[in-house]
Amino acid sequence: MEFLTSLDFSPVWQYRWPLFWGLVETLWMAALAFAIAVPAGLGLALGRIYGGWLVNLPIMAFVDLMRFTPLLVQAVWIHFALPAVTGMNFAATQSAMIALSLHVTAYVCDVMRAGIIAIPKGQGEAARALGMKRRAVFFHVTMPQVWPLVLPPLGNVAVASFKLTTILGILAVDDLMKVTNRISTLTFRTFEFYTTAAVIYLLVGLLLTFAVHRVERRFGASRLERSAARADRASLAAARGAVAAGPRTVEPPPDR
């Protein structure tokens, strides 16, 4: 009881702007890392599936290294060891971004690989039998079926990369967690500021999840089953169109 009465959240309002800018830092780092990781992870997944062992093996090693070592250690490696090896110096934010992007890329690679190999072999065979080239098969047949499948796990990765930013404070990055940490040591209101931060993470996390659900409902795998009504309307319209167009549509196609 004494603990509860001793709580004082009034300094939180006083520090609202530093907290806000911390959240902005967190959000753009997570968003940028995810935006880099999706195409990069897709590329690596393609390497794993279609590349020979010479391509496959290094990618497998990279993915496992990223997944099974802590992001905190990866951030430290990249910020302190990489400059010593390459001679290039990175700002803390740059190092943090590189670490987070690589880390998330590894997860996206796994998600994409699972999605691509889940497409039945017959799909590619039918497309190739029709004379379609590999690129066309990939863009018109494979990927449109992969996206709805990988959407839910990709959403999870997006939420995870948002939460992973909390670790990047190990470098001099002013994300929401680091800002919270600084202010709490300054004001001795540790409990109040960490709780506030937790509520902000929770709210943003819920918002992200909600957004992912919206996207899923629009483009997800269940779309095809649920679209019966819409397709009925579509075929009705097509039939009307055919009737309106008259016999033109039943003429034989021009000879080659």
Partner 1 sequence: MTAASATRTPAIRIEGMSKWYGAFQVLADIDLTVMPGDRLVVCGPSGSGKSTLIRCINRLEEHQEGTITVDGIRLDENTRNIDAVRKEVGMVFQQFNLFPHLTILENCTLAPRTVRRMSKSDAEARAMHYLHKVRIPEQAGKYPGQLSGGQQQRVAIARSLCMDPRIMLFDEPTSALDPEMIKEVLDTMTDLAQEGMTMVVVTHEMGFARRVADRVVFMDRGRIVEQKPPEDFFNAPEHPRTKLFLDQVLGH
Positions touching partner 1 (CB under 8 A) are 120, 122-123, 125-133, 136, 140-141, 144-145, 148, 224-225, 227-228, 231-239, 242, 248-253, 256
- Apex CA 97: angle with CA 209 and CA 216, to 5°? 20
Q: Rounded to the nearest whole angstrom, what is the least distance from the CB of residue 221 to partner 1 in the complex?
A: 10
CA pair distance 141, 105, nearest whole angstrom: 24
CA pair distance 101, 4, nearest whole angstrom: 41
Q: Which is nearer to partner 1, 214 or 230 (CB)?
A: 230
Q: Rounded to the nearest whole angstrom, what is the least distance from the CB of residue 223 to partner 1 in the complex?
A: 9
Q: Rounded to the nearest whole angstrom, what is the least distance from the CB of residue 31 to partner 1 in the complex?
A: 28
Q: Rounded to the nearest whole angstrom, what is the least distance from the CB of residue 145 to partner 1 in the complex?
A: 5
Q: Which is nearer to partner 1, 86 or 248 (CB)?
A: 248
| 183 and 15 Cβ atoms separated by less than 8 Å | yes
CA pair distance 136, 176, nearest whole angstrom: 44
Q: Which is nearer to partner 1, 37 or 127 (CB)?
A: 127
Q: Which is nearer to partner 1, 4 or 250 (CB)?
A: 250
CB neighbours of 112 closer than 8 A, spacing ≥ 6? Answer: 41, 42, 44, 45, 146, 150
Q: Which is nearer to partner 1, 70 or 241 (CB)?
A: 241
Q: Rounded to the nearest whole angstrom, what is the least distance from the CB of residue 126 to partner 1 in the complex?
A: 4
Place of tokens 């095809």: 224
CA pair distance 63, 41, nearest whole angstrom: 10
Place of tokens 């990866």: 74
Place of tokens 């971004």: 97
